[in-house]
Amino acid sequence: MNFRGRDVVSIREFSRQEIERVLHVARDMLPVAERRKRSNMLDGYVLSTFFYEPSTRTRLSFQSAICRLGGRYIGFADPAVTSMKKGETLADTVKMAEAYSDAMVLRHPHEGAARLAAEFCSKPVINAGDGAGQHPTQTMLDLFTIKEELGSIDGKTVAMVGDLKYGRTVHSLSYALAMFGAELIFVSPRELQMPKDIVESLSEQGAKLKSTTRLDEAVKEADAVYVTRIQKERFPDPNEYQKVAGIYQINAALLKDAPEDLIVMHPLPRVTEISPEVDPTKHALYFKQAFYGVPVRMALLALVLGEVE
Ligand code: CP
């Protein structure tokens, strides 16, 4: 198992054993992420964070991760302030990340952008979300959350709710959960079902899958409910968005009959799909899940930069 110099583009390029290694290192990073312990493991390293799309958690947790380990970051959160405005290509821009830093984190609206960046950059490229494609580091922190909170991933039932068509987090996560032997329930309206190619690929992998439109039924069966935002920005036709906006909501009434130890996860940001009345309940895990992004990203950076084996 060798992570040094490795790109993190798709979760499908990682074996179960490799993901377990990341989760193990992330656990070791927890006291540093919580500032109970100090570390200079990445002293002298510079990380590029190039974000061509809005982000709160992914960008800031990567920046927090490198800072907590004694390194620094450069980058941008808005491509309008870069030379892309003058017509510079992504390929030329990532050459600058290679020249100025030791690893690059890239978020881009186009599926395949991280793969392209990895071809043009000899330093590790970490995909922080490419359009409706993949979001592998989110998947790793989602797995970490399930493992930390439920004790294991194998044999657990995870209901994925909402925008399964455009939601890159659920695409990446479903592959990983299947690899870990979890059962999946897909809850979505017909218009936002999990893409056929992904369902076929999961079935070939031997995944245990179910699809339904009934959130109330799925909640009773699940160990974890993974809620997603219906992503207005990815709909080619705004009228199609209006048909499904607000279709599902996790609220106190729905959770009344839920299993005692059900956890509610969300990659965030949320809009209306989880009512704020759920926040103080024992089911609400989404803010802790967002925090877990820091130790998991610390672990990944330390591994790809070769400071941890
Ligand atoms: N979960 C996630 O990717 O959040 P951001 O879009 O805020 O980075």
Taking CA atoms only, the protein residue closest to ligand 1 atom 4 is 57
Any atom of ligand 1 within 6 Å of the Cβ of 287: no
What pLDDT score does 118 carry?
Answer: 98
Taking CA atoms only, the protein residue closest to ligand 1 atom 1 is 267
- Low-confidence residues of the chain: pLDDT under 70: none
Q: Is 283 a catalytic residue?
A: no
Give the full edge-to-edge strand order of the sheet including 125-130: 72-76, 46-51, 103-108, 125-130
Any atom of ligand 1 within 6 Å of the Cβ of 128: no
CB 103 within 8 A of CB 124: yes
Residue among 35, 36, 86, 190 flagged as catalytic:
86
d(CA 122, CA 102) in angstroms, rounded, equals 9
Relative to beta strand 157-161, strand 72-76 is: unpaired
Structure confidence by residue, pLDDT tens digits, 182-208? 999 999 998 899 999 999 999 999 999
d(CA 12, CA 1) in angstroms, rounded, equals 15
Domains along the chain with CATH numbers: 11-134+292-304 (3.40.50.1370), 136-290 (3.40.50.1370)
How many angstroms separate the Cα of 221 from the Cα of each of 102, 198, 204, 217?
Answer: 45, 23, 24, 7
DSSP 89-154: -HHHHHHHHHHH-SEEEEEESSTTHHHHHHHH-SS-EEEEEETTS--HHHHHHHHHHHHHHHS-ST
d(CA 279, CA 100) in angstroms, rounded, equals 41
HSE-CB at 57 with a 13 A cutoff on CA atoms is 22
Q: Is 35 a catalytic residue?
A: no
Collapsing DSSP to helix, strand or coil, 41 comes out as coil
Structure confidence by residue, pLDDT tens digits, 234-282? 778 888 878 888 889 999 999 998 999 999 999 999 999 999 999 999 9
HSE-CB at 269 with a 13 A cutoff on CA atoms is 6
d(CA 300, CA 3) in angstroms, rounded, equals 9
Any atom of ligand 1 within 6 Å of the Cβ of 108: no
CB 39 within 8 A of CB 308: no
Taking CA atoms only, the protein residue closest to ligand 1 atom 5 is 55
Any atom of ligand 1 within 6 Å of the Cβ of 55: yes
Does the pTM surpass 0.75? The reply is yes
Relative to beta strand 46-51, strand 72-76 is: parallel
Any atom of ligand 1 within 6 Å of the Cβ of 268: yes
What pLDDT score does 238 carry?
Answer: 82
